[in-house]
Structure 1
Amino acid sequence: MIIDAWAQHPTRRHLADPIFDSLRRWTKIPLPDEEPPVRTTVALMDQAGVNRSLISAWVAPRNIMISNDEVAGFVAQAPDRLVGVGSVDIARPMDAVREIRRCVDELGFKAIRVLPWLWEAPPTDRRFYPVYTACCELGIPFCTQIGHTGPLMPSEVGRPIYLDQVALDFPELVIVGGHIGYPWTDEAIAVATKHEHVYIDTSAYTAKRYPAALVGFMRGHGRSKVLFGTNYPMITPAQALADLDALGLDAEAQRLFLGDNACRVFGLD
Structure 2
Amino acid sequence: MQRTFRFYRVNSNILLQRNLSDKTKSQTKQSSVVVDAWGQHVTLRHVQDPMFDSLRRWTKALNYHEAPSVPSTIAALDEAGVDRMLISAWYAPNNIMISNEEVFNFVSQSNGRLVGVGSVDISRPQLVMREIRRCIEKYGFKAIRVLPWLFQVPPTDRRFYPVYTACCELNVPFCTQIGHTGPLMPSEVGRPIYLDQVALDFPDLTIVGGHIGYPWTEEAIAVATKHPNVYIDTSAYTIRRYPRVLIEYMRDTGRKKVLFGSNYPMINPVKALEDLDTLGLDESTRALFLSQNAVRVFRL
Q: Is TM more than 0.5 here? A: yes
In structure 1, the gaps of 5 or more residues are none
Residue 30 of structure 1 deviates from its aligned partner by: 5.3
The DSSP-based 3-state class of the residue aligned with 2:72 is helix
2:237 matched to 1:205?
yes
2:224 to 192, 196, 214: 192
1:66 alignment partner in structure 2: 98
Instruction: For 2:63 and 2:270, locate their aligned partners in 1 and report how far apart those are by CA, in whole Å.
Output: 20
Written as runs of structure 1 = structure 2, the 5 A alignment for 1:145-224 is 145-224=177-256
The answer on whether the counterparts of 1:227 and 1:258 sit within 8 Å (CA) in structure 2 is yes
Residue 92 of structure 1 deviates from its aligned partner by: 1.1
2:84 alignment partner in structure 1: 52
2:125 alignment partner in structure 1: 93
2:116 to 84, 101, 104: 84
2:139 to 104, 107, 111: 107
Written as runs of structure 1 = structure 2, the 5 A alignment for 1:134-145 is 134-145=166-177
Residue 62 of structure 1 deviates from its aligned partner by: 1.5
The answer on whether the counterparts of 1:141 and 1:265 sit within 8 Å (CA) in structure 2 is yes
The DSSP-based 3-state class of the residue aligned with 2:54 is helix
Q: Assess, with a 3 A threshold, how the Cα gap between structure 1 residues 75 and 248 changes in structure 2: closer, same or farther.
A: same
Instruction: For 2:71 and 2:39, locate their aligned partners in 1 and report how far apart those are by CA, in whole Å.
Output: 15
Residue 70 of structure 1 deviates from its aligned partner by: 0.2
Residue 202 of structure 1 deviates from its aligned partner by: 0.1
2:35 matched to 1:11?
no
Instruction: For 1:19 and 1:188, locate their aligned partners in 2 and report how far apart those are by CA, in whole Å.
Output: 26
Instruction: For 1:158 and 1:115, locate their aligned partners in 2 and report how far apart those are by CA, in whole Å.
Output: 9
The DSSP-based 3-state class of the residue aligned with 2:154 is coil
1:148-175 deviation per Cα after TM superposition (whole angstroms, max 9, x unaligned): 0000000000000000000000000000
Identity %: 71
Residue 206 of structure 1 deviates from its aligned partner by: 0.5
Instruction: For 2:185 and 2:62, locate their aligned partners in 1 and report how far apart those are by CA, in whole Å.
Output: 22
1:206-265 deviation per Cα after TM superposition (whole angstroms, max 9, x unaligned): 011100000000000100000000000000000000001001011111000000000000
Residue 28 of structure 1 deviates from its aligned partner by: 2.0
2:49 matched to 1:43?
no
Residue 33 of structure 1 deviates from its aligned partner by: 2.6
1:119-152 deviation per Cα after TM superposition (whole angstroms, max 9, x unaligned): 0000000000000000000000000000000000
RMSD over aligned Cα, in angstroms? 0.7
2:283 alignment partner in structure 1: 251
Q: TM-score w.r.t. structure 2 length?
A: 0.88
1:21 alignment partner in structure 2: 53
The answer on whether the counterparts of 1:114 and 1:144 sit within 8 Å (CA) in structure 2 is yes
The DSSP-based 3-state class of the residue aligned with 1:150 is coil
Q: Letter of the 1:62 partner, please give it.
A: N
The answer on whether the counterparts of 2:250 and 2:258 sit within 8 Å (CA) in structure 1 is yes
| Rg (Cα) greater in structure | 2
The answer on whether the counterparts of 2:37 and 2:233 sit within 8 Å (CA) in structure 1 is yes
In structure 2, the gaps of 5 or more residues are 1-32
Q: TM-score w.r.t. structure 1 length?
A: 0.99
Q: Letter of the 2:35 partner, please give it.
A: I
Q: Assess, with a 3 A threshold, how the Cα gap between structure 1 residues 206 and 30 changes in structure 2: closer, same or farther.
A: closer
Instruction: For 1:35 and 1:231, locate their aligned partners in 2 and report how far apart those are by CA, in whole Å.
Output: 17
The DSSP-based 3-state class of the residue aligned with 1:27 is coil
Q: Which runs of 4+ in 1 moved over 3 A?
A: none
2:228 matched to 1:228?
no
The answer on whether the counterparts of 1:12 and 1:31 sit within 8 Å (CA) in structure 2 is no
More deviation, 62-71/24-33: 24-33
